[in-house]
Amino acid sequence: RAFNFSAGPAAIPTEVLERAQKELLNWNGYGCSVMELGHRTPDFQTILDKTEDDLRKLLNIPKNYKVLFMHGSASHQFAMVPMNFLAPGETANYLEMDHWSKMCIKEASRFGDMHIQQGIRTNSDGLLELVPENEWSLDEKGKYLHFTSNETIVGVQFQDDPQSFSGKLVSDMCSDILSRPIDIEKYALIYAGAQKNIGPSGMTVVIVREDLFESFQTERVPSLFQYPHVSSKGSMPNTPPSFGIYFAGLVFEWLLEQGGIEEMYQRNLKKAHMLYDYVDQSNFYHSPVAKGSRSFMNVAIQMKDRKHEERFLHEARENHLIALKGHKTFGGLRASIYNAMSIEGVETLIRFMDQFEQRLK
């Protein structure tokens, strides 16, 4: 298998794919795949319960939070959050970062008034950086503050939970969930599409504080989009994304076997430091993101001479290093180094980058 640096759908640990392959035709001696198993069967309920339990263990999710496995994508949550939290005419705070938070604000503005605070800017060296919290101006009466903990496209990541808003925090954690410890109790709601650190696309995990359900404004919201309804039906108001849930369960078991989130966090930091250290000492590559704002999941890299990019990507592919092209809106290169990327993969990438530079000298 190649070393896959895709931003999403992203690499899945080989051991997990092998196990899924083994179980594909005959899960647990049952004679069929989980894909073919009725979702109302006790067997599927066991899978769902174990998947939830393992996620609770991994993230240390308190009992007063509900875990929902939902259909669809993070983009559905862009709309669902304001649909549930806001009554017509109410306001919420949104930190505007890059592509994903802009998409999120666009959807949310259909359901309420947006108080927008810039979360990202270009500094005097031309590098992207987070706007420091002491420069934010938020609407304290806003129903919540929504932020994207890691902007996948440009590779900018919050280094800490925001401190300055006294109200509810809501976070899109698509691209850094399960990569680092999270203090769940600081949040009203967290959501993440599956396709980076959880499993195949098409399923979204939502972690939400249960006591908020009473305050949700859901009369005009379709029932499948109401968090309390989905929760009261145990994530199964209708046929759930059953194979996605099973697959997430395999990934969660793998994470527990690896030593859990603290271990993954240390590995992730190590991988990111190796790559940034290499790029920082190079005269050939550079990082477009300022230190202190850099993502340890999506490492944006630019070549000082951008005309070499196509050749770099081509030769990288020939060396089994795939999906290193930056997002079309940002350009350059990007190495997404989620949980499934090994230290060996990052070492191989650095070696390739170095050899590529030498070849052009």
Which residues are known binding-site members? Answer: 40, 74-75, 100, 152, 172, 195, 238-239
**Segment contacting ligand PLP by CB under 6 A, of 34-42, 71-79, 215-223, 335-343:** 71-79
Instruction: Give which of 200, 152, 178 is closest to 259, Cα–Cα.
Output: 178
Who contacts 117 (Cβ-Cβ below 8 Å, separation ≥6)? 93, 94, 95, 96, 131, 136, 137, 138
Q: Which of 43, 67, 71, 75 touches ligand PLP by CB under 6 A?
A: 75
Chain centre distance of CA 201: 11
Q: How far is the CB of 67 from ligand PLP (least distance, A)?
A: 18
- Residue 242 contacts ligand PLP per CB under 6 A: no
Q: Give the nearest residue (CB) to ligand PLP.
A: 73
Interacting residue with ligand PLP among 6, 152, 157, 293 (CB under 6 A): 152
100 is annotated as an active-site residue: yes
354 is catalytic: no
**Min separation Cβ 198 and ligand PLP, Å:** 11
Other beta carbons within 10 Å of 152: 27
Nearer to ligand PLP, 84 or 175 (CB): 175
Q: C-beta of 334: minimal distance to ligand PLP in Å?
A: 12
* Cβ contact 234:69 at 8 Å: no
At residue 218, what are phi and psi to the nearest 5 degrees? -105, 5
Asked if 8 interacts with ligand PLP (CB under 6 A), we say yes
The single residue of 54, 98, 172, 176 carrying the catalytic annotation is 172
What does each C-alpha distance from 319 to 286, 303, 356 come to in angstroms? Answer: 22, 19, 11
CB of 30 to ligand PLP, least distance (A): 31
Q: Measured in whole angstroms, how far is the alpha carbon of residue 74 from the centre of its chain?
A: 9
DSSP string, 47-93: HHHHHHHHHHHHHT--TTEEEEEEES-HHHHHHHHHHHH--TT-EEE
Distance, in Å, from the CA atom of 240 to the CA atom of 261, rounded to the nearest integer, reads: 27
Asked about 233 being catalytic, the answer comes back as no
- Residue 103 or 350 having the CB closest to ligand PLP: 103
The yes or no reply on residue 73 touching ligand PLP (CB under 6 A) is yes
**Which residues lie near ligand PLP (CB under 6 A)?**
8, 73-75, 100, 148, 152, 172, 174-175, 193
| Residues tagged active-site | 100, 172, 196
